[in-house]
Chain A
Amino acid sequence: MSLRQLALQLLLAAAALVAINAAVTLMARTSVPRQLLRHGEQSDPATDLFLGNSTMAAALDERVFAVVKPGRPLNLALGATGPVEHCLIWRLQSKHRVADVYYGFFDSQLTDPLHGTWETLVGNRAMAYYVDPDTAIDYYARESPFKALGMRLTANVPVMVERLAIWSKVEKLRRAIGEIGMPKRDVNRFGRADDFTLLEADSKEFARRCERAVAERQPLSPPIAEIIDTTRVNGARIRVVEMPMPAEHRRRLNSSHEWRSYRNHVIELIHNAGGDYVDASNWIDDVGFADNVHLNAAGAAQFSTRLGKWASQNR
C-alpha cells in the first residue's frame, strides 16, 4: 500500500467522523434539555418556577397548581440531572427572575459533593457541555485544570457529548429484543419502573453520609446555594421542597436519628440563606406513586394542590 493510499484512507476516516458528528448533532437537536429550555423561553413570565430532578418533573402539575394558587406556574424540572444542571437551567431564566422558586430534592442531595465525570455527564446531564459550559466547568472541575481542559475539548465533539443519542437507540432495541416472548415490563414516562429501585441508597451508608454531613457542618451544595441566593436577591421567595417518597423509602432511610439530625442541619442552612423548607415527604400515600420515586398523575394532582395551598398560605 502506498503512502498516498494511506493518506486517502485517513482522509476518508476523518470525513466519516465529521459526517457522524453532523448526524449526531441533528439527532440531538430535539434533546429533552433543549426542549425544556425552549419551553422556558417561549413561556410567559412565570409567577412560580419549579426546579429539580424527575421527582419534581413528575410531581408538579402546572394546571392543578394554578387552580389553587392562581398565576403562571412553570415546571422546568428535568429528569436524571443534578444541582449543577438545575443551576444552569435557572441561570437561563432571566425572563422568570421574579418568580417564586420551588426546588425539589430527596435524600442528601442538598449537601452531596458535585460529581460530574465523563461517565456521568451523559443524556440530560450532557447539557453541562453545551448550556453555559464555563459555569459547569467551574462547578465540576474548579480544582482540576486537567479535568477542565478535558471538559472543554469534549464540549466541541458532538459524538462525545451526545453519545447517549446513539446509545439510547441501541438500548431500546436491546430491550425490545429482550422482551420477545416475555411479559411486558411496567414502563412509565421516566423509564422502566423497577429500574428505579436501583437508585435506592443503602440505609447504613446513607445514615453514615447524613452523620458525616452534620458532623462536618457541610454547607449547601454551591449550585443550590446560588439558586437560593439569586432568587432572594431578585426579591422572590425560594422554597426548598423535600419531595414525597413512598412509605418504604421513608421507613428505610428517613426514620433514623441521623436523618433527623441531617434534616435539622439543612433546614438551618436554608433558613440562614433566606429560604423556606417544605417537608412534603409524607404528603402522598403509596397509591400515588408510579414507581419507587415518581408520582403518578393522581399523586401529582394531590401534591400540586397541597403545595399550592401551602404557598398561598405562606406568601
Chain B
Amino acid sequence: MMNRLRWIKHLCEYLGGAQDVSPNSFFMPPGSLNWGLWWGLLAAVIVAFCGQSSKFIYIDF
C-alpha cells in the first residue's frame, strides 16, 4: 500500500514537472501523442480553476 502511494506521488511529481525521471513501469517517451492530450487537459484545468476569489462559492442555487 505504502509503495503504491509512493509510486502515485512520484507519478504526480513527474507529470507536474517536479521530477525528471518517471516512476518504475510508467513509460511515456517524449514523442508520445499522449503528452498532447495531457497538455490539453492541463490547460483546461488551469483555466477552470483560476480566478476563484469569492469569499465563498455560491453553487447550490
- A interface, CB within 8 angstroms of B: 1-2, 5, 8-17, 19-20, 32, 54, 79-80, 118-120, 122-124, 157, 159-160, 163-164, 166-168, 170-172, 187, 189-192, 195, 198-199
Chain B 32-61 interface mask (CB, 8 Å, partner A; 1/0) = 010111011101100111111111111111
Bound-complex Cα distance A8 to B44 (A): 18
Q: Can you name 16 A-B residue pairings with CB atoms under 8 Å?
A: A9-B36, A12-B40, A13-B40, A13-B43, A16-B36, A16-B41, A17-B40, A80-B61, A119-B51, A124-B58, A159-B47, A163-B50, A167-B49, A168-B59, A171-B57, A191-B56
Further contacts, 8 of them, CB under 8 A, given A9-B39, A191-B59? A16-B44, A19-B40, A119-B51, A119-B53, A119-B54, A164-B59, A167-B48, A191-B60
Q: Is the CB of B58 within 8 A of A190?
A: yes
Main secondary structure of the interface of A (DSSP, over half): helix
The verdict on B30 contacting chain A, using a C-beta distance below 8 Å, is yes
In order of increasing CB-CB distance, the 8 nearest A-B pairs are: A16-B40, A12-B36, A9-B36, A13-B40, A168-B59, A5-B31, A13-B39, A191-B60
Using Cβ atoms and an 8 Å threshold, which residues of chain B touch A160? Answer: 47
Centre residue among B29, B31, B61 by max chain A CB count within 10 A: B61
- CB < 8 Å neighbour of A119 from B39, B52, B59, B60: B52
Q: Is the CB of A122 within 8 A of B51?
A: yes
Q: Is the CB of B31 within 8 A of A1?
A: yes
How many B residues, CB 8 Å from partner? 27
Bound-complex Cα distance A247 to B43 (A): 48
Q: Is the CB of A168 within 8 A of B57?
A: yes
Bound-complex Cα distance A172 to B44 (A): 19
Using Cβ atoms and an 8 Å threshold, which residues of chain A touch B44? Answer: 16-17, 20, 159
Using Cβ atoms and an 8 Å threshold, which residues of chain B touch A20? Answer: 40-41, 44
Using Cβ atoms and an 8 Å threshold, which residues of chain B touch A32? Answer: 61
Whether A9 contacts B35 in the complex (CB less than 8 A), given A16-B41, A122-B51, comes out as yes
Using Cβ atoms and an 8 Å threshold, which residues of chain A touch B37? Answer: 12-13, 16
Smallest Cβ-Cβ distance to A198: which chain B residue: B55
Q: Is the CB of A120 within 8 A of B54?
A: yes
Q: Is the CB of A171 within 8 A of B59?
A: yes
Whether A1 contacts B30 in the complex (CB less than 8 A), given A10-B36, A16-B40, comes out as yes
